[in-house]
Amino acid sequence: MNPNKALWEKGDFTRIAATMRDSGEVLVQRLGLTSEMKVLDLGGGDGTTALPAAKLGAEVLVVDIARNLVEAGNRRAAEHSLAKLRFEEGDASNLEALPDGMFDLVVSIFGAMFAPKPFDVAKEMVRVTKPGRRIVMGNWIPNDPTLVAQILKISAHYTPPPPEGFVSPMTWGIESHVLERFTAAGVPADRISFARDTFTFHFPGAPSGFVAEFRKYYGPTMNAFDAAEKNGRAGELQKELEELFTSQNKSGRDDATAVPATFLRVTVAL
């Protein structure tokens, strides 16, 4: 089994995605979509960005590696009667089923960053985008003090080191790496721009309840707890995460959680 696929089919990412919908909509509102556009959403999960994009009239294809998320996305598309929205299983590092220059916009918000072979991912994103059009990525930033980078950092203290040659997905949050990958795909450096942006997670319960969702449903956190349990350190991991979520909760209440997280927005103008 492909470990990249197994990681994201583990648990149920739709539970975490449900806390990300507001920011997904806000981000999509700023993309300037029109009903004539063809959009590819890579690693789009169950449609946090794809649904709002399709509601604006664009024709949207989501390619995601996790079968369960593709199924969940297609169910949501049907529930919302979005005939121009489709989810398919596939790998961002190999989009061979898609012809060159097919899309007006390729978007990937915390999606393609998780695919192995980042140079292939950049090459494929450039290949399927129409000349003169755009790629927009949202990537978590390593060592950032906000939520997601901190979850991954804490979790790394409880898990065995990755195999030799493993390229961390978080390198997509470092501008020099992003430049290297897109210039290797033939894009001039001055066509690649960066901005800091914020995604806010909203959970209708206490921060400890939100940690419980990650522990039960988010593949990377489930793996960290599996490893910590083997070493008798699951309680320690739970405590560190609860402290993190509580300290980052900006809801002003104990029974609701609102956590803003900073990411790197990358725009590639072809």
Ligand X SMILES: C[S@@+](CC[C@H](N)C(=O)[O-])C[C@H]1O[C@@H](n2cnc3c(N)ncnc32)[C@H](O)[C@@H]1O
| Residues at the contact surface with ligand X, assessed by CB under 6 A | 4, 8, 13, 17, 20, 42-45, 48, 63-66, 69, 91-93, 109-111, 114-115
CB of 262 to ligand X, least distance (A): 15
| 58 burial type by CB count under 10 A (0-12 exposed, 13-18 middle, 19+ buried) | buried
Cα dihedral: 204, 208, 211, 217 (round 10): -60
- Based on CB atoms, which residue is closest to ligand X, 40 or 188? 40
Task: Provide the b/e sequence for 181-202 (b: ≥16 CB within 10 Å).
Answer: bbeebebeeeebeeeebebbbb
- Based on CB atoms, which residue is closest to ligand X, 167 or 189? 167
- Based on CB atoms, which residue is closest to ligand X, 90 or 207? 90
Whether the CB-CB separation of 55 and 80 falls below 8 Å is answered with yes
At residue 165, what is the residue type?
G
CB of 234 to ligand X, least distance (A): 23
Instruction: Tell me how long the chain is.
Output: 270
CB of 232 to ligand X, least distance (A): 29
- Based on CB atoms, which residue is closest to ligand X, 93 or 146? 93
CB of 192 to ligand X, least distance (A): 21
CB of 200 to ligand X, least distance (A): 13
- Based on CB atoms, which residue is closest to ligand X, 69 or 187? 69
- Based on CB atoms, which residue is closest to ligand X, 110 or 210? 110
CB of 8 to ligand X, least distance (A): 3
Tokens read off for 175: 């501008």
| 83 burial type by CB count under 10 A (0-12 exposed, 13-18 middle, 19+ buried) | exposed
Whether the CB-CB separation of 28 and 52 falls below 8 Å is answered with yes
Tokens read off for 21: 């919908």
